Amino acid sequence: MSAQSAPAGPPTPAHLEMYRADGYLRFGRIFDEAELADLRRYIDFLIETRPKSKRPEHLDVPHFEHPYLFKFLTHPRVLDIIEGFIGPDIVLWSSHFISKPGGDGLPVSWHTDADYWKGRLDPMEVITLWLAVDRSTRENGCMRVIPGTHLRRIERRYRDLAPGTNVFENTLDESEFDLGRAVDVELEAGECSFHDAWTIHGSEGNFSPMRRCGYTMRYMPAHVVFTPLSERDQHKVFLVRGKDRTGGKTPYTEIPKG
Ligand SMILES: O=C(O)CCC(=O)C(=O)O
């Protein structure tokens, strides 16, 4: 294995300090080349076999139907790194492939994840590992973040967007943040970044010829209580390491075998 492709170890104190100050962190590789190729083959298969009416930006919670993905989501190297950020009791909150095809990949409007998960998680503490399945640059619509915005945990204003023009149906109102402070989180294929649920982020459309696929792998400490919004909220969470710290208040689903 070349030095360039060596997976990273757990976060250092300097990493943690940056993450806590900025609400995001560029990180190294987590999977080796063979593991990444395996994941990419699987994603290519999911994209190819999806219902044609579904855009590839919308492959949300693929692990509910495809237990193979637990191989990556619960990989010991991934969990060791996540443990470095949030401690030894770890719950898999969610995952999502956001694959923007070259030429007409949809933008992701400015938002905080906390605003989308409001009312279901208490306290709102989620870390997202954003894995660059493909090289992710300004040209093909890399993630963009507004550093430090996670420090103000406030209700923010959104405005509606025209349907079908964006991965989401609304966007944070421009008065809520300073776009001039946006940072492009450019990553080589296989590298990852982390962001906090309260960090303002988004990404532009992909007008380049190159696909931009990211896999969001989202984790929370096991003291976070998940309360489904209603009976229609069929979201599943998995205790992937350590112990429940909610006193049984969070309904965990068993991790699929094999
Ligand atoms: O993939 C993107 O461009 C945006 C990702 C995102 O919104 C997230 O990971 O929460």
Rounded CA-CA distance 123/114 in Å is 10
Query: Where does the pLDDT of residue 6 fall: very low under 50, low under 70, confident under 90, or very high at 90 and above?
Result: confident
Q: How far apart are CA 150 and CA 197, in angstroms?
A: 7
- Work out the mean pLDDT of the chain and round it to a whole number: 95
**Dist. CA 247 → ligand 1 center (Å):** 31
Q: Which CATH entry fits the domain spanning 47-241: 1.10.460.10, 1.20.120.1200, 2.60.120.620, 3.90.1310.10?
A: 2.60.120.620
- Mean pLDDT of the region 91-118: 97
pLDDT of residue 2 exceeding 70: no
**pLDDT confidence band for 16 (50 / 70 / 90):** very high
Residue owning the nearest CA to atom 9 of ligand 1: 216
Confidence band, pLDDT 50/70/90 cuts, at residue 52: confident
Provide mean pLDDT across the span 29-38: 95
Which pLDDT score, from 0 to 100, does residue 1 have? Answer: 42
pLDDT at 3 over 80: no
Q: How far is the CA of 222 from the centre of ligand 1 (A)?
A: 23
**pLDDT above 60 (res 144):** yes
With CA atoms as reference, report the closest residue to 69 among 59, 57, 80, 55.
Answer: 59
> What is the model's pLDDT at position 47?
95
Å from CA of 85 to ligand 1 middle = 19
Q: How many CB atoms lie within 10 A of CB 84?
A: 16
Extents of the domains making up the chain: 47-241
C-alpha of 101 from chain center: 18
4 confidence band (pLDDT: 50, 70, 90): low
Average pLDDT over residues 69-95: 98
Ligand 1 centroid–CA 248 distance in Å is: 31
Residues with CB under 6 A from ligand 1: 98, 108, 113, 128, 130, 143, 201, 203, 214, 216
Query: Ligand 1: which atom is nearest the Cα of residue 143?
Result: 3
Task: Tell me the percentage of the chain whose pLDDT exceeds 70.
Answer: 98
At 5, the pLDDT band (50, 70, 90 cuts) reads low
**111 CA to centre of ligand 1 in angstroms:** 9
> Can you tell me whether residue 15 is helix, strand or coil?
helix
Test site for ligand 1: of 95, 97, 108, 115, most ligand atoms within 8 A of the Cβ: 108
Question: Given the CA of residue 130, which atom of ligand 1 is nearest to it?
Answer: 9
Hey, what are 202's tokens? 């988004």
Ligand 1 center to 153 CA (angstroms): 19
Each residue's pLDDT tens digit, 171-218: 999 999 999 999 999 999 999 999 999 999 999 999 999 999 999 999
